[in-house]
Amino acid sequence: GENVEQHPSTLSVQEGDSAVIKCTYSDSASNYFPWYKQELGKRPQLIIDIRSNVGEKKDQRIAVTLNKTAKHFSLHITETQPEDSAVYFCAAQTGGGNKLTFGTGTQLKVEL
Amino acid sequence: EAGVAQSPRYKIIEKRQSVAFWCNPISGHATLYWYQQILGQGPKLLIQFQNNGVVDDSQLPKDRFSAERLKGVDSTLKIQPAKLEDSAVYLCASSSGTGGYGYTFGSGTRLTVV
């Protein structure tokens, strides 16, 4: 089955700096890669996603890049703000079953 | 649109007791998932339903966990008997697509087994 690894497990940045979270996946058939933000005690919420026919996608301060050859994808947050502090999960979806395999999460802390 | 509804929000039980969780997906979403999220880890799929049929239950501990979605709408997840390691947040999610779609998660049920 699919295996998703995520790094780093914790990340501290100063407000206004950029943050990058990286994930690798094992199944070359995976074709959809969403990112979720989870605040303490709350549900995971989809913040951005990318499909395997696209190399990069951007939405305001967040962007995701995908390298299918290397089987890795990354989340980029620019001009970080304190409200960006949360746990971020990457995930990979394989085939038509819709099953998402999640990474282990990155605790992002944006310091003033 | 209304989100994914789950209840209860919190549950504390003693080990060896039984517990049940309920989920009502977004209207019209054919696919429903139950995930287990242990503290500090990513969600792990327990079971996936397509309408009222099971698509994937390969990671469901079937000796103690069971789930059903009898009418293809809401679903229940049961644990009997519970173990200490079952302490986790149980997330229900639903999706409408057949591929390339993210999920909408419910708020989850936080289970503590003491």
CA A2 to chain centre: 16
Mutation to test the B interface, candidates A98, A99, A107, most B Cβ within 10 Å: A98
Q: Answer yes or no: are the C-beta atoms of B92 and B73 closer than 8 Å.
A: no
Interface of B with A in 14-53 (CB under 8 A): 31, 33, 40-45, 48
Share of chain A above pLDDT 70, in %: 97
Partner-chain contact B99 A32, CB within 8 Å: yes
pLDDT digits over B18-43, tens only?
Answer: 999 999 999 988 899 999 999 989 99
pLDDT digits over B65-113, tens only?
Answer: 999 998 889 999 999 999 999 999 999 999 886 555 668 899 999 999 9
Amino acid B28: pLDDT: 87
Pick the residue with more confidence: A48 or A94?
A48
**From CA B48, how far away is CA A98, in angstroms rounded?**
9
Q: For residue B2, give the amino acid letter.
A: A
Q: Report, in angstroms and rounded to the nearest whole number, the Rg of chain B calculated over CA atoms.
A: 13
Buried b / exposed e along B49-69 (16+ C-beta atoms within 10 A):
bbeeeebbbeebeeeebbbeb
**From CA B42, how far away is CA B22, in angstroms rounded?**
21
- Under the banding of pLDDT at 50, 70 and 90, the label for residue A62 is very high
Percentages helix, strand, coil for chain A (3-state, rounded to 5) are 5, 60, 35
* Closest-CA residue of chain B to A44: B105
